[in-house]
Structure 1
Amino acid sequence: MEFVPEPKQQLILCCECGSAIPPNPANMCVNCVRSLVDVTEGIPKQATIHWCKNCERYLQPPATWMVCDLESRELLALCLKKLKGLAKVRLIDAGFLWTEPHSRRIKVKLTIQKEVFAATILQQTFEVEYVVASMMCPDCTRVMAQNTWKAKVQVRQKVDHQRTFFYLEQLILKHSAHNETINIVEVKGGLDFHFAQRAHAIKMVDFLGSMVPTRSKTSEQLISSDIHSSTSNYKFTYAVEIIPICRDDLVVMPKKTANALGHISPLVLSTRIGNTIHIIDFKTLQLSEISGTTYWRNEDITPICTMRDLKKFYVVDVELLGPRVGKYALADITVQRLGDVGKNDDVIIVRSHLGNVLNFGDLALGYDLLTANINCDTFERLNPDDIPSVVLVKKGYAERRRKRKQRNWRLKALNKDEGDMVPKKQELQKKSADFEAFLRDLEEDPELRQGINLYKDTSIIERPSGHAAGATDAMLGDEDDEDGDDAPEVPLEELLNDLKLASSDEADDEDMAVD
C-alpha cells in the first residue's frame, strides 16, 4: 500500500495578537474575541426577587404569588424571568450554586451563546446573584391589618337544633370546600365563612346549593373609592338560607301542592335531605321529592313536628300488609304509649311504613298527634279523618344500652371561632345533645354515613376488650338485656385511618428514637 500523507492545516495569524490560529471569519483568536466582545452585555449580574416571610411565597410579577422550594425548577424559572437580556442570546445551561439558606442570596450559573461576528458564535459562562428581599403579600397584609376578608358567606337555618350544620360540616371536610377560607365563625343560628376573594365565596355558595336546598341573597359594602383611577373597593356578603325541613320531620302541605308532587298525601315524613327533600307517604309508601324551588315558591309547606317532639311507644303487634318499597314495608302496627305500659290497656293501631323494621317488644319513636300542640293553618284545614293518632318515625333503642357502648370511631371538626357573645351553659348542653343525636343518626342509617368520612378511634380500638365495657356492665347490671336488640354500631370496615403528616424535625426525632 502506498502511504498518502495528510494535508497540513493552514494557519493564519491573529490580527490582534499575532498568534497562529485556524482560519475563521473574524481572523481573531478566542481570547481576543472575548476581550473585544462581551456576550453578557445587557444581562444584569444582580437582581432582586421578593419573598413573603409569612406565607413563604415568591412574587411573580406583576401580582402572582407562588410557592417555590429552594433549588427547585419553579424557583429557577422565576429567577430566569427576572433577567431581561436573555431574549437576545441563546441559553445553553442554567443551575444553582450552593449558598447558605439563611444568607438571603441565590446564585445561578448560566451558560449562553451569541453570534458576535459573521458566522462566529461565542459561548460564555457567568454567574447572577439574586437578593431575596422581604415583602408582605396582599393576603398577609390584610391579615395583619385585621381586614382579613373581602367576601363573607352567612349560612343560616330557622330551626331549633344544629343537626344540619353538623352534617354540613362533615360534607365540607370531605370535599375540602374550606381550603380557601380565612376564618370560620360560629354564630347563633349558623356559620360565617370569610374569604379573601369573591370567587371563593361564590364557589362556597354553589357547593352549599348542591348539597342542601338553599336560597341566597347578595349585598355589597363600599370600603374605599379612588376618583382619579375610578376604582373602588367593596366587601361582599352572601346570605344563604337553608330550607327549614330536616330529616324525620313531619311535614304538612296544601292539597294543591301535594297534587303537584304526584297526588301524594298532604301529611308526609321527610326521610332524607340532599339537594332535594325526600318524602314518603307513611300510609301508602308513595315517594316524592321537594326541591328548593318548590318550597320557596310554596312556603305553606311546613314542618309541624320535629325530633324534639318524638315520643316513645311500645310495639305490641305488627301485621304486614304486603306492599314493599325499598327498605320500607307497609304494616298495621299496634303500639302503646310507654308511660301506659303496665297501667292500662290503651293501645293504638297505626298504619306505618316500618313493617320490616319493628317487631313485637321493640321500642318505637313517633309523633303523638292527639296530645301535640300544633299551630298551623294548613294542618287545621285537613280532613280530621285523614289525620292519624300516631305517626311512627323510626325504631328506638334502650338508653342505658346506648350509654354502655363506647364508639370506636370519631369525626373531624372545622377550626371555628366563637362569636362575640359567649354561649350560655344551657346553649352548650343543647348543642351537646344535638351532636349526640347526630351521632346516633349516623349509627342507625348507613345511607347517611356514605356521604361523610368516619375515622378510627385508636384509643378505643387498641384498648383490651372488656376493659371498660365490663366495669360498666357490672355497675349497670343485666336488667335491661331483654329490652330488644343491641344498639346499632358502625362496622369497622367503614372506618378510615387518620393520616397524620409529621414535620421533618419530628420525623428526624422519631428516627433517632427508633435508632
Structure 2
Amino acid sequence: MMDGVEQLSAEEAGAFSSGTLATIACCLCGTSIEPNPSNMCVSCLRAQVDITEGIPKELAIYYCRNCGRYLQPPKAWIAAELESPELLTLCIKRLKGLSRVKLVDAGFRWTEPHSRRINVRLTIQKEVFARTILQQEFIVVYTVLYQQCDACKRDAAKIEAWQAVVQARQKVDHKRTFYYLEQLLLKHGAHQDALGIKETGDGIDFYFANRSHAVKLLAFLGDVVPLRHKSSEHLVTHDTHNNTYNYKYSFSAEIAPVCRDDLVVLPPKLSNSMGGIGPLVLVSRVSASVSLVDPTAVRTAELPASAFWKTPFAPIMTSRALTEYTVLDIETTGETAGRFAAAEVTVARSSDLGVNDSTVLVRSHLGHVLHIGDLVSGYDVRSAIYNDSLVAGHKASFELPDVVLVRKTYPRRNRARGRKWRLARLAVEMADDDTRVARGAAGVRDPATRDAEQREVFLQELEQDAELRSNVNLYRADDVAAAAAATAPDAAAMTDTTPVDVAPEAAVDADEDDVDGYPEVPLEELLDALDISPPAGGEDGDGEDGDDGGDDADA
C-alpha cells in the first residue's frame, strides 16, 4: 500500500492497459462470464428460460392409406412422401406458437417407416432480454393416425364422386375460346375444386363434389365470356325416414358463338339500338361483353352479353377464311376511334403478285399499324359463300364490300423453334379420336394435327397481341429446343406445368434470318415455371411460380 492506493501487479496492469473486458460471476453457478443483461451464463439461462414454451411437442396428423395423402386442415388432402419438403411444410403449418419466435432451421429425424411416428427437428431463436438472443433446438413428434379421405369413402361405398357438373359449350369449328379459357382458369385458380376435367365434342365438362363449387366456376365463366346457362337436377336417393334428398346437378353453359376477328352482320334492330353502327362489323375483342368495330366508318361499340342473347346472331365469316393481302399503298384520313385510325388502303392478294394486276381499294380501320409492303389478313367477301339469312332484313341499298381487312400479319415461319416461352396446361381427359374427328372440319382425319395447328395459331396471336397476352401467364422455357420439339399430341398425362409450344410442320425453315419485324415477347413478361422434380443428385429441389393477376378474356 502506498498513499492509500493498492499497487497493481504486472499482469493486472498489462490486462488493464490492453483493454480486456472485466468478467463477472454468474449469479446462479458462479462461473466467470462476460457481463450481460441477465448476469447468467448460457447454461443457467437455458435452464431458467424456455423459448419453446407454448409450442406443442406432440401432435397428430391424419393419413389415408388408400390414396397415400395427408389431411391438411380443415378438409384438404395433399400427397407427400416421407421426409419430403411437402410433408415438412405440412408439419410446420400444424404448429402453433411459431409466430412468437424465429424459425432458423427445420428437418427430419429418421424413424422407422412403420413406426407411425414422424420426428421433426426445429431450431428457433428468440430475444429473451435486451440484446440477448437465445437459440434452442428441439424435437416435435407427430403421430400418424389413419383416416379415410372423402374420395376414398365414396369409392368404398361405390358412390359416384361428382355431385355437380358444368358443361361449357361453344358451337364453333375451332377451340380458340377454350385455349384462352384454359389459361384464365390456370391464372386465377378457378379449376382447383374440380374433381376432373373432360373434353367433349364441342366443349369441356367440369366435375365437382359440391354444387357450390360448380356455381362458383359458372360465375367465373360469366365474368370472362358472354355466357348463358340453365340448370337441371336429378334425384339420386331419397330417405323417407328423415326426409333427406340426394341430387346431382347439371349446369349447361353456352358461350356465344362469336370470337375475335369474326365478321358479323348485326340484325337491324340491334344495329339501330347501338346508334346505327354497321351493320357490317368486326369483333375486335370478347370478354364479358363483345367489342365491335365498324371497319368502314371506324366506329366502336360494346355489346353486353344480355343484349346479345336477346338478339343472337352468327358470323358470316370466321378466322378460318382469312386471306393474306399485301399493302401496295395507304393514305390515312385522320379519323380515329380509340386505338383505331381510318385509312384508304390499296391491297392485292399475296398469291396474285406477279401473276396479275388485280388490286382492291379498301377503307380500313388499321391505319395506325399498316405501312406499304406490310402483310395483312382480310376477308375476301366478294367470293365468299355465306347464308343469306344472316344479312336478311336490311335495306336493299346495303351492300357488302369486296374486302374487309382484319389485322396485320407476318410471313409464315416455324415460330415454335425459337420460342423462349411456354404455357401451362390443365390436366384434361381427352376425348377419343372419333369424337374429335366428328367435331373438326370436314376432310381432316388426324385430330392431333388439327389441334396442334389451332394451338399454334393461338400461340402466335399471343405473341402479336400484347393486350391479349396481358391476361395469360407465360413461363420461361428452360430448354428452348426441347420446348419446341414437344409436339406429341397425347395430352392424357399433361399436368399444370407441361410445355405446350406445339407447332405443325412449316413450309419455311426457322433457320432463315427473321427480318420480318415479327413481335417478340419481352423477357420481363415471362415468369419462372414451378419445377418440383428432384435434381440429378436425388434431393428435392425448389422452384418458383409466378403471381396471378389480370381480369377479362379475349376469346
Query: Cα gap change, 1:371/1:381 in structure 2, threshold over 3 Å: closer, same or farther?
Result: farther
Alpha-carbon offset, residue 72 of structure 1: 5.9
Establish whether residue 437 from structure 1 lines up as the match of residue 457 from structure 2.
yes
Q: Could you give the per-residue CA deviations for residues 467-487 of structure 1, whole angstroms, max 9, x where no partner exists?
A: xxxxx9997896x98xx8332
Query: Cα gap change, 1:218/1:506 in structure 2, threshold over 3 Å: closer, same or farther?
Result: farther
Alpha-carbon offset, residue 491 of structure 1: 1.6
Alpha-carbon offset, residue 341 of structure 1: 1.9
Distance of 2:200 and 2:518 partners within structure 1: 34
1:257 equivalent among 234, 255, 270: 270
Distance of 2:541 and 2:174 partners within structure 1: 45
Establish whether residue 426 from structure 1 lines up as the match of residue 446 from structure 2.
yes
1:38-437 correspondence runs (5 A): 51-53=63-65, 54=67, 56-57=69-70, 74=94, 102-104=114-116, 133-143=145-155, 145=158, 147-299=160-312, 301-382=313-394, 383-399=396-412, 401-403=413-415, 406-419=418-431, 423-424=436-437, 425-437=445-457
Query: Cα gap change, 1:71/1:101 in structure 2, threshold over 3 Å: closer, same or farther?
Result: farther
Alpha-carbon offset, residue 426 of structure 1: 2.5
Of 241-250 and 411-420, more deviation after overlay is shown by 411-420
Alpha-carbon offset, residue 99 of structure 1: 8.8
Is contact 2:283-2:293 (8 Å) kept?
yes
Q: Could you give the per-residue CA deviations for residues 113-145 of structure 1, whole angstroms, max 9, x where no partner exists?
A: xxxxxxxxxxxxxxxx99865331322222564
Which AA in structure 1 matches 2:294? D
Matched residue SS, 1:355: coil
Q: How many correspondences in the alignment?
A: 410
Aligned to 1:40: none
Matched residue SS, 1:303: coil
Please give the TM-score of this superposition, normalised by the length of structure 1.
Answer: 0.71
Query: Cα gap change, 1:184/1:358 in structure 2, threshold over 3 Å: closer, same or farther?
Result: same
Aligned to 1:459: 479
Query: Cα gap change, 1:142/1:420 in structure 2, threshold over 3 Å: closer, same or farther?
Result: farther
Distance of 2:300 and 2:271 partners within structure 1: 12
Query: Cα gap change, 1:404/1:497 in structure 2, threshold over 3 Å: closer, same or farther?
Result: closer
Alpha-carbon offset, residue 404 of structure 1: 8.2
1:494 equivalent among 525, 535, 541: 525
Which AA in structure 1 matches 2:166? V
Query: Cα gap change, 1:177/1:71 in structure 2, threshold over 3 Å: closer, same or farther?
Result: closer
Distance of 1:137 and 1:404 partners within structure 2: 43
Which AA in structure 1 matches 2:404? V
Matched residue SS, 2:190: coil
Is contact 1:139-1:196 (8 Å) kept?
no
Of 218-227 and 366-375, more deviation after overlay is shown by 218-227
Alpha-carbon offset, residue 165 of structure 1: 0.3
* Structure 2 gaps, min length 5: 1-58, 79-86, 98-109, 120-140, 438-444, 484-505, 543-555
User: What percentage of residue pairs aligned between the two structures are identical?
Assistant: 41
Distance of 1:406 and 1:505 partners within structure 2: 27
Query: Cα gap change, 1:71/1:411 in structure 2, threshold over 3 Å: closer, same or farther?
Result: closer
Which AA in structure 1 matches 2:334? G
Alpha-carbon offset, residue 403 of structure 1: 4.5
Is contact 1:55-1:140 (8 Å) kept?
no
Distance of 2:508 and 2:169 partners within structure 1: 45
Is contact 1:271-1:279 (8 Å) kept?
yes
Is contact 2:418-2:510 (8 Å) kept?
no
Matched residue SS, 2:177: helix
Distance of 1:267 and 1:356 partners within structure 2: 21
Alpha-carbon offset, residue 501 of structure 1: 3.4
Is contact 2:535-2:541 (8 Å) kept?
no
1:30-45 correspondence runs (5 A): none
1:495-514 correspondence runs (5 A): 495-501=526-532, 508=539
Alpha-carbon offset, residue 381 of structure 1: 3.9
Distance of 2:326 and 2:384 partners within structure 1: 18
Which AA in structure 2 matches 1:251? V
Query: Cα gap change, 1:142/1:347 in structure 2, threshold over 3 Å: closer, same or farther?
Result: same
Higher relative contact order (CA 8 A, sep 6+): 2
Is contact 1:65-1:137 (8 Å) kept?
no
Query: Cα gap change, 1:348/1:183 in structure 2, threshold over 3 Å: closer, same or farther?
Result: same
Which AA in structure 2 matches 1:490? V
Is contact 2:421-2:477 (8 Å) kept?
yes
Query: Cα gap change, 1:403/1:170 in structure 2, threshold over 3 Å: closer, same or farther?
Result: closer
Which AA in structure 1 matches 2:429? D
Is contact 2:414-2:510 (8 Å) kept?
no
